[in-house]
Amino acid sequence: MSLVSGLLAAQAGKVQTQVAATILKSNMDSEKSAVLTLLGAGQQGISSLANVGAGIGGNLDVSA
């Protein structure tokens, strides 16, 4: 009986490990998406200024 109990406990541990791995992968994918979004937003901001005319933004008053 203790052998069966041990096997069931091992199987439950395996399932818990698989669930934890799935959750960890999901979290890592979410973090990756967030980082790529932030990096993409930064690159988009730089590239969107590439088409403005010369002198635009040169006289910016930051004292206010």
Per-residue confidence band for 56, with pLDDT thresholds at 50, 70 and 90: low
pLDDT of residue 17: 94
Tens digit of pLDDT for each residue in 1-51? 888 888 999 999 999 999 999 999 999 988 988 888 877 755 555 555 566
pLDDT of residue 37: 82
Q: Is the pTM of this model over 0.75?
A: no
pLDDT digits (tens, 9 = 90+) for 38-52: 777 555 555 555 666
Q: How far is CA 51 from CA 14, 54, 55, 58, in A?
A: 56, 9, 12, 15
